Structures are given as C-alpha cells and as structure tokens.
Chain A
Amino acid sequence: MALVEIKNLEAAVGGKPILKGIDLTINPGEVHAIMGPNGSGKSTLSSVLAGRETYTVTGGSVLFDGKDLLDLSPEERACEGLFMAFQYPVEIPGVTTSYFLKAAVNAIRKHHGQDELDAMDFLKMVKEKMALLEMDKTFLNRSVNEGFSGGEKKRNEIFQMAVLNPKFAILDETDSGLDIDALKIVANGVNALRSPERAILVVTHYQRLLDYIVPDFVHVLCDGRIVKSGGKELALELEKRGYAWLETAAA
C-alpha cells in the first residue's frame, strides 16, 4: 500500500488558486524530490499536507497510511507520523527547546497509548540525536529558534525530525542557508532516517542536496501542477537547462 496518495489536490489562499491538481503517490522506503521555480506552490503543498489552515483545500484527496489526511488536525497528522521541516522556522521566545520537545514527544506517545517518557530516558534519547546532528549542548536550554542563525534553524528542524521519528517527512528547502559542512551533517541526519517503512519528500532548488540525499524520483512543480517527473537524472537536467522549457510545456 502506498504511504501517501495525493489525488488531484487543489488549494487556494485568499481565494487565489495555488495548487491546481496535484497527483503524487509515495511508497514506503522512497525518497521523492520536488523542484520548481519560486512561487510555483512547493511550500503550499508542504503546508497543506501539514495542515496549515491559511490554505483552503478546494478539491482532491490525500490518503496517509490509509487514512484521510485532510480530515485530521495538524497535531493529529504529527501524531500519525507526518513531519514537515519548515522553510522558515518560527522563533518561540520563552519556550525552551527541551520543554517543547518533551511536550511533542509525549503528545505523540500519548496518542499511541504509550506512557510519558521519564526525564532520564528523554534526555538520553535527545542527546543521541544531538550527537547525530553535531549540535551544541547549550541548545536544549535555549528558546526554540530564538536568535538562531538561518543554518542553525534548519539543523534544528532535522534534529526535531530525528527526535520525533516520523513515517513521512517533508523537508521544505532544508538545504537553503546551510554551509557545506552543515549540509553534509543535515544530509547524514536525513539518511539515518531512511528505511523501508519511511518515506521522505525533499523540496529543493539545488542538485547539490540530492548528491547527498539521493532521490528515487524527481518531480517538477510549475504553477501548481506537476509538469514532469523522472529519476534522479532529471535534477541534473534541470540544473543545466532551468525551468523555462517546462513552463512553456505547462502553459
């Protein structure tokens, strides 16, 4: 069974149509990449899947692990194993990363009928993931994303993903703002999560990330539609040729 099955998905913001009929099927174990020009709807697709209420779904359906995803609240989606790494993670002054993560981990555990993690086990688990992403120790006691550099914010997203252990992760331009070393560390973190049961959707503008996180499929989103799909070589072709040839095809 497919893990994610998006059918003819349409979404609008403030009455303006952004997604104009997306079809995409993602099976367990697969990594898909979505590329496409600025404003084509990549973040909109990510946000709609995560449940952001600013966007109105105007048509289509999404099945996630056999469930009607669009029927679930954002927190239920997260508890069911969906994770989105934000393109622009928000700062939350006054809420420490450790407090926030504990709340998230325990909410998800509760959803699955598990007991809360005790403080020791939580810390042990979190420290392992911090080591994986080579994060500074002071980080847990800092407010979520507050005063973080662009790159630190992105790394924090992947760290959260590692802690929450989702079935399906959407990474919205996680590579932008990362230096080369950080890019490798982040890619490592993502690859560590790759497994036959999980799937990942990577949104990116650059082939570079795909050297580290090698996709099984690449799709091109133009003006709210997937206009072309292919294997990992499609990304290389896009790097050379840009999007113009596809945009004309879409129109």
Chain B
Amino acid sequence: MTATTISPDNTAILSALGPSYGLPWLQQRRSDAMELFERIGLPPVTHEDWRLTNTAQIAKINFSAPGTGTPLTPEQLAGLCLKKLGAQQMVFVDGKFSPELSSPGGKVEILTIRQGMEKHADRVQRFLGREMPGQSNGFSAMNLAAFEDGAFIYLPPDQGDMGLVHLLWINASHDQPVVVHPRNLVIVGSNNQITLVQTYAGFSSHPAFCNAVTEMVVGKGAKVELIKLQRESDTAFHIANEAIHVHEHADVQSLCVNTGGHLVRNNMTVHLAEPFAQATLNGLTLAAGDQHIDNHTMLDHARENCPSHELYKHLLGGRAGAVFRGKILVRPDAQKTDSKQTSKTILLSDAAVMNSQPQLEIYADDVKCTHGSTTGPLDDEQLFYLRSRGVAAADAGALLTYAFARDVLLRIWHTGMREYLEEFVAAELHRLHLDQAES
C-alpha cells in the first residue's frame, strides 16, 4: 500500500480559511498554510513520527464547523472552572470566546488573539507561527490556515509573580461531528513568574475534533509552569502541537494530564535556546476502553548548560494504548547538557498496550543523557504486602495506582493546582478501577 494521500474528506475538515481581519500578512500565512495542507494532508502512518498513531480515522469523518450546540449547564461549567483558585479565566466554547463565562480581569492582560492583533499588532505578527510553523505537520498547517480565535497573553518584563491563568476550551454537545482549531500565543517577558493552565473538555457523544496549537516564548530568567488537562469526551479526537522557546536562565515546567479523548496526540517541543535555560516535562495518562493516547516530546538543546528532565507516567486499562516518544536533540554547542528521561507504565489489563521509545541525537561530547522506561502490571509484592496487612485486593490496587500517579502531581509547583489535580486524578482513578472491575 502506498502512503495515504488526502482523501476528499480531508478538504471537508479544512473547507475555509479563518478570518484575516484585513491583515495582509495573516491572509498570506493562512493561504500558504492551506496550500501546504492540501499538498501534505494528514500525516500518514508511513511517516516516521506517526507510525503508532493512525490519523486515517480522522480523515474518514465528515467534520463541520460547530453551529450552536447544547448550552452548557452550570454543573458542567463548575466542574471545569478554576475561579476558586483565584485564576484569571478565559473560556472558549466551540472555539469561540465567551465573554459571559470568562473572567479575564487581574494582573495579567489576557486578550483574544483577535484583540491582540489590534493592540499588539507587531508582536502577534512577529510571533504567530514562529515556534509552531505550519510546516511542522498537517495539523499545524491546518490550524494556521483555519484557526478562528484563541488567547493572546503578553507579559511585559519584570512584573514578578503573575499568579494563575486558565484557558478553558470546551466543546459543547452537538448532533454531528465538529472541528475546532484553538490557537494560543503566550509571550512571557523576562523575570516573570506565571502558572498557565489549559483545560480541554468536551461533552459531545458525536466525535469532536480539537486541533490545538499553543506557542510560547519564555523570556530570560522567567519561571513558567504550564499545565494542560485534556479531558475531552471519549469520542473526541484531540491533536495538540505545542512549542516553547526558552531563553537564558528561564525555567519551564510542564505537566500534561490526559484522561479523555478517543484518539489523542500531544506534540510538545521545547527549544532550550540559550545557556542555563531549563525544562521539566511531566506527563500523566489515565486511559481505558479503546482510548489511544500518544505523547511526543522534543527537547532541543541548542546551547550549553541546560538541564532537562522528563517523567511521563501511564496507567492503562481495558484495551487502551499509549505511546511515549521522547526525542532529545543535543546540538554541537550544547556542552554540559544534563538530560534525564523516564517513562513508567502500569498495565491494569492484559489487553492494554504501551509503546515507549527514547530517541537520543547527540552532537556534543561533554554531556550527560540518561533514559529509562518500565512497563508492567501492578507490583505483585507490593500488592501482597498491603493485602497481608488486611487491605482488600481492590483497595490495595487503588492505593498503588494512586501513589503511582501522585508521584507526578507532587511535582506541581502551584499548591492550589496540585491539590485540585490530586482530587481530580483520584476521582478519575476510581472510574478507571470501576471500568476494570466491569470488564
């Protein structure tokens, strides 16, 4: 069989360019991206980076732009909202900014990209599509061509601790498959500190396709925590391309939590562009049924003295499949790189499958790069130890999986978010164990 070429269905996904707001440069980037997408289409499984995640399923579905969906209930919103943690919050429903649901006021000036194009025209023009250009893959091309709106955050230098910002993307329930292309652009000036949370949630029983792009620039000496919570509905397709450019002495920690989605792919690219920049990439995936969750990370060490750490953990039940592929590129100038990558997986059922691969490309000689990966069922000896003290088998299993997951959550810098996610993950694990018990 030859590589999948674009089926006519693909054009249905990308039927029109997004608005250009009368900006010639944007018009140009969009049509270039469209042209590119029409040439390359969705990445085929014959593509080295997409071998383990088959996007043909997406091409088969006739997605349309979302009309008005079922209005969200207060309960649905309350479960997703982080206002109680004091977050400045921006809510997008079906890809459209919802001023009624948002509370963007606070220390940080949060705008929509559209507003950003008016207020910070030069910055948006300069950075939009710089870190995650259309050329990266068919999805990023499609996003650039079609995105409608998103968040634009610009933090001028030396503001200190800027608190918590939450970007909440919700797909409402629709009676047909819909597609949205969220796009966020975040520029953190030097010496700022901020926690940025992105939640992607959905309520539709028809497949929703979320094709997100987030670009971020982290200035000198800034400290940024980036948390993503992907809890789409279990019929959803979620593809996210994120890229972060990290300047000198800046420190970035990201956590990607996945509990939802039918087919999920997260691409996270970090450019450690200047000396003493550091990055920590953590991940936690809980999957069951026939969920497929794929995390690709790329740590690009361009300069010397940059440490990087990765810890991706997966708890898989049912027939779930997960992929972790961590690429570490150490360029010739990146001497004294200190990089550690770990992937750990617990398989809660015999039919669950994990595929974990490190990919090291090292062109400097004075570096330390380690990687390790473990996959297996719950530890028999630990289970027996707990049971021998009276703890019932099911509770012992739950205790061990929670401890496994919590290990990642304890690393979260923001106390409120740590507690919020501990509670969220405990509830999700409960659900996962119930699923296991039933199957």
Contact = CB atoms under 8 A, between A and B. Distances in A.
A86 B384 CA distance: 11
A172 to B, nearest CB: 12
B384 A74 contact: yes
A78 B385 contact: no
A108 interface: yes
Contacts of B114: none
B400 interface: yes
User: Which one of B385, B399, B407 has the greatest number of beta carbons of chain A within 10 Å?
Assistant: B385
A51 interface: yes
Given A73-B393, A92-B382, A94-B406, A78 B388 contact: yes
B407 A78 contact: no
A162 to B, nearest CB: 13
Contacts of A160: 389
A160 B385 CA distance: 12
Contact of B390 (A54, A95, A108): A108
A148 B2 CA distance: 57
A93 interface: yes
Interface in A87-137: 89-90, 92-95, 99-100, 103-105, 107-108, 111
B399 A95 contact: yes
A95 B403 contact: yes
A111 B395 CA distance: 14
B311 to A, nearest CB: 13
B385 A107 contact: no
A75 B393 contact: yes
Contacts of A54: 380
Interface of B is mostly: helix
A90 B381 contact: yes
A107 B392 contact: yes
A100 B407 CA distance: 16
Contacts of B388: 50-52, 74-75, 77-78, 83-84, 86
A79 interface: yes
Given A52-B384, A90-B382, A107 B403 contact: no
A183 interface: no
B404 interface: yes
B399 A100 contact: yes
Task: Choose among A54, A86, A99, A103 the residue with the greatest number of B CB atoms under 10 Å from its CB.
Answer: A103
Contacts of B396: 75
Contact residues on A (Cβ < 8 Å of other chain), bracket? 20 to 34
A190 interface: no
Nearest to B394: A75
B391 interface: yes
A62 interface: no
Contacts of A19: none
Contacts of B395: 103, 107
Contacts of A53: 384
B403 A92 contact: yes
B385 A89 contact: yes
A226 interface: no
B417 interface: no
A248 B390 CA distance: 41
A94 B346 CA distance: 14
Q: How large is the interface on B (under 10, 10 to 19, 20 to 34, 35 or more residues)?
A: 20 to 34
Interface in B372-391: 379-382, 384-391
Interface in B400-415: 400, 402-404, 406-407
A75 B391 contact: yes
A169 B386 CA distance: 16
Contacts of A52: 384, 388
A9 interface: no
Interface string B72-97: 00000000000000000000000000
Given A103-B399, A107-B395, A94 B404 contact: yes
Given A92-B400, A94-B406, A95-B399, A104 B391 contact: yes
Contact of B407 (A93, A103, A107): A93
A164 interface: yes
B403 A93 contact: yes
Contacts of B392: 75, 107
Contacts of A89: 385
Contact of B387 (A78, A95, A108, A144): A78
Nearest to B407: A94
Residue of B387, B399, B400, B402 ringed by the most chain A CB atoms within 10 A: B387
A95 B400 contact: yes
A195 B76 CA distance: 58
A76 to B, nearest CB: 9
B403 to A, nearest CB: 3
Given A90-B382, A92-B400, A107-B395, A79 B407 contact: no
Interface of A: 50-54, 73-75, 77-79, 83-84, 86, 89-90, 92-95, 99-100, 103-105, 107-108, 111, 143-144, 160, 164
20 contacts: A74-B387, A75-B387, A75-B390, A75-B392, A75-B393, A84-B388, A86-B385, A90-B379, A90-B382, A92-B400, A95-B399, A95-B403, A100-B386, A104-B386, A105-B390, A107-B389, A107-B395, A143-B403, A160-B389, A164-B390
Given A73-B393, A160-B389, 17 more contacts: A74-B387, A75-B390, A75-B396, A77-B388, A78-B387, A86-B388, A90-B379, A90-B382, A90-B385, A92-B382, A95-B399, A104-B389, A104-B390, A104-B391, A107-B391, A108-B390, A143-B403
User: 7 smallest A-B Cβ distances: which pairs?
Assistant: A94-B403, A78-B390, A104-B389, A74-B387, A107-B390, A108-B390, A90-B381
